[in-house]
Structure 1
Amino acid sequence: MLPDERRNFIYSHLHQYARVTIGDLAKLLDVSHMTIRRDVQFMENEGKVTVISGGVKLNEAVKQELPYVEKALLHHRSKRHIGAVAEMLVESGQVIYLDAGTTTYEIARCIAAKLKKITIITNDFTISDFLMKMPHVNLFHTGGQVDMRNRSCVGNSAAQFIRGLNIDIAFISTSSWDIEHGLSTPDEGKAQVKQAVLASARRNILVTDSSKYGKYGMFHICPLAQLTDIIYDDRLSDEIENRLRLLPIRLHKAISQ
């Protein structure tokens, strides 16, 4: 395995487990401890990870999101449960925005299965491709600059399209959020799209698994108080949940069965 391939594996693995020991990585990749130490040092210099005693963890400051294909493999069960909770908030006849992401893709799957006649706007090519097969869905894609890594459109052109709409419910994804930083992203083009959605939607719902909490990107999107709801999985700590309950936001916990 080439060094770049090892580092991509390590970065993806950390998105699933948050932190891992040098020894475990050496076993998983069948290389020496010294090789892993060189890899994680290189990644720390890139700002992606932080080296800790005996191991490595994700850097709280997110520099780059994982590609769509890799994100789709992570926390899939939690995303399905979040999708089911989100679908229950949608009524026939509504105009819905689905932000780009693998969690919102699960929402699209749940909505499609219930055969509700709705209008869906999205900037995500995977979601739009899936919904093209659903005759009961009136589908719009934002267009705009194509982010090939994440199979979506970003930037001012996509944001401008969204600003001309009146949206009933927006389901917003994120790579990083917490109470102090609100929603953020390492990508300026994504920030423009999400801010346009927040301004155009009557109800803004963050959909996120707990692995995204406690991280932040360079570009601030909004404080949590600007949201109306958060749908999250059942792995947030009690302390964080109690702090979230102090905010003027409706909370929906997706319980794993």
Structure 2
Amino acid sequence: MFANQRRSEILHRVQEQKTVSVNELSEKLNVSAATVRADLNSMEKQGLLTRTHGGAMMKEKDDIDKKYAVREKKHRSEKQRIAAAAFEYIEDDQCIILDASTTCFELAKFIKESTKRLTIVTSGLTTATMLKENPNLTVIIIGGIVRSGSNSIEGLIGHELLKKVNVDILFTSAYALNASDGLTDFSLYEVELKREMVATARKTIALVDNSKIDKSSIATFAKIEDIELLVTDQALSPDLAAYFSATKVPIDIAN
């Protein structure tokens, strides 16, 4: 089992049981206690859980910084610049997916005020509610589970819907982006749906502000090679820029 798979399983158990012990995880995952401790320490640094004596517990209140209402206000000017640049890639009569991220919500604001005729598939409750007011838009919301404090539909209930639509572009953000892990997020259930979105769309455009660059989260939903374009607001670090160049994925820096 790879480290990311192991840590995904640890997070799943923490979310289900609230608390876990090193010995329990060592037995269930068939790895040493030292490996489990290293995983837990790394996951605590990522803000995914809280270490306790002999184990770990779910982060109090599920880490309020991840609540949609809080995230929506952070780095808003950067997200608006990214959204304005991303809007230029949308053409009349396309079918696009907008994930439930706050950056895609900023993109949805540009779409709402436009005269473009589009079909919008989205996992964002707020996004769907806003876009339905524009008569030029056909809005399809993906079915699934809604968690408290979240704007996102999660799970694979909407999997069959994605099979039935021909999607030109997926616009997606992430909790973090780096060269080795690609686009990552902290919700295992949301990641499952995002993987399906990436597989469905003809083109995937990642919208990632500078606060998320060169960081990582628990689960990958797309490698850099899986996307066609990154729209961000600042120049990347030399190492990450070199990786994008090597994989021939272009970068649009929104000024």
* SS of equivalent residue, structure 2 residue 157: helix
Structure 1 position 149, deviation (Å): 2.4
Unpaired runs of 5+ in structure 2? 1-40, 48-61
Could you say which residue in structure 2 is the equivalent of 1:128?
128
Alpha carbons 1:108, 1:127 under 8 Å: kept: yes
Q: Select which of 42, 47, 58 maps to 2:44.
A: 47
* SS of equivalent residue, structure 2 residue 90: coil
Which residue type is aligned with residue 186 of structure 1? F
Which residue type is aligned with residue 222 of structure 2? C
Alpha carbons 1:99, 1:123 under 8 Å: kept: yes
Identity of aligned residues (%): 25
Moved over 6 A (4+): none
Q: 1:184 to 1:160 in 2, by over 3 A?
A: farther
C-alpha RMSD over aligned residues? 2.2
Structure-2 separation of matches of 1:153 and 1:141: 9
Structure 1 position 132, deviation (Å): 1.6
Structure 1 position 167, deviation (Å): 0.3
Corresponding position: 1:105 with 2:127: no
Aligned counterparts, 1:59-70, within 5 A = 66-70=66-70
1:124-147 per-position Cα deviation (integer Å, ceiling 9, x unaligned): 011011112111111000021113
* SS of equivalent residue, structure 1 residue 116: coil
Structure 1 position 238, deviation (Å): 4.4
Unpaired runs of 5+ in structure 1? 1-43, 51-62
Structure-1 separation of matches of 2:222 and 2:42: 29
Could you say which residue in structure 1 is the equivalent of 2:213?
213
Structure-2 separation of matches of 1:76 and 1:192: 26
Could you say which residue in structure 2 is the equivalent of 1:9?
none
Alpha carbons 2:144, 2:158 under 8 Å: kept: yes
Structure 1 position 173, deviation (Å): 1.3
Could you say which residue in structure 2 is the equivalent of 1:139?
139
TM-score (structure 1 length as normaliser): 0.72
Could you say which residue in structure 1 is the equivalent of 2:37?
none
Could you say which residue in structure 2 is the equivalent of 1:163?
163
1:193-252 per-position Cα deviation (integer Å, ceiling 9, x unaligned): 111111110111111101111222222212110111111112533443343222221211
Structure 1 position 169, deviation (Å): 0.5
Alpha carbons 2:195, 2:221 under 8 Å: kept: yes
Could you say which residue in structure 1 is the equivalent of 2:7?
none
Structure-2 separation of matches of 1:48 and 1:123: 29
* SS of equivalent residue, structure 1 residue 156: coil
Q: 1:220 to 1:238 in 2, by over 3 A?
A: closer
Could you say which residue in structure 1 is the equivalent of 2:179?
179
Q: What is the aligned length?
A: 201
Structure 1 position 46, deviation (Å): 7.7
Could you say which residue in structure 1 is the equivalent of 2:9?
none
* SS of equivalent residue, structure 1 residue 157: coil
Structure-2 separation of matches of 1:201 and 1:126: 22
